[in-house]
Amino acid sequence: MDFGGDLAVLDPSIVFQVVNIARLTGKIKLITINNVASLYFDYGELVYATIDTGTKRVGEILIEKNLINEDQLNHALRESREGVNKRIGDVLIENGDIGYKVLVSVIQEQIKMVVYTVLEWNEGQFVYFDGARTRNEDILLDVKLDHLLLEGLKRLDEAGTN
């Protein structure tokens, strides 16, 4: 079952709640003039999300939290570019710069930030693709969607943007 609509009619929080209540497994792609986000659900719970622009990259978060320095990031970026399909997090772990638990925490934070960003959108389109799953992602979000939505809506309310 695929469906779609206008974010001016159904804001992202409503779309996510429909997927959650129906316990759907698939991908929601949200498209605005300036951005595209993809959110993956497994039995109604958000497990992974990506966005083209608007959130920090893994390396930026690690530096911001003082978990790595610029030299470590630049070295890992070079290695990542030279390696075939090597992700920056894998390189940082292999180099002993961070541990796996740190990477999991940062990626989960990044996923949450995608949701918080998308909740602000009130223009654009969404399309749901039934049965679509993430590819090659081994770090997934482990937070109940209702808790995530409440936190995101609280942030919007505190910022005065909703």
Write the Ramachandran bin of 160: left for phi over 0, alpha for psi from -120 to 50, otherwise beta.
Answer: left
User: Rounded CA gap, 161 and 51, in Å?
Assistant: 20
Domain that holds residue 150: 3-159
Tell me the mean pLDDT in the region 119-144: 90
pLDDT digits (tens, 9 = 90+) for 132-161: 998 878 888 888 999 999 998 898 888 876
Percent of the chain beyond pLDDT 70?
Answer: 97
Contact 37, 62 (CB under 8 A): no
pLDDT digits (tens, 9 = 90+) for 15-63: 999 999 999 999 999 999 999 999 999 999 999 999 998 888 899 999 9
User: Rounded CA gap, 26 and 41, in Å?
Assistant: 5
- How many domains, the chain? 1
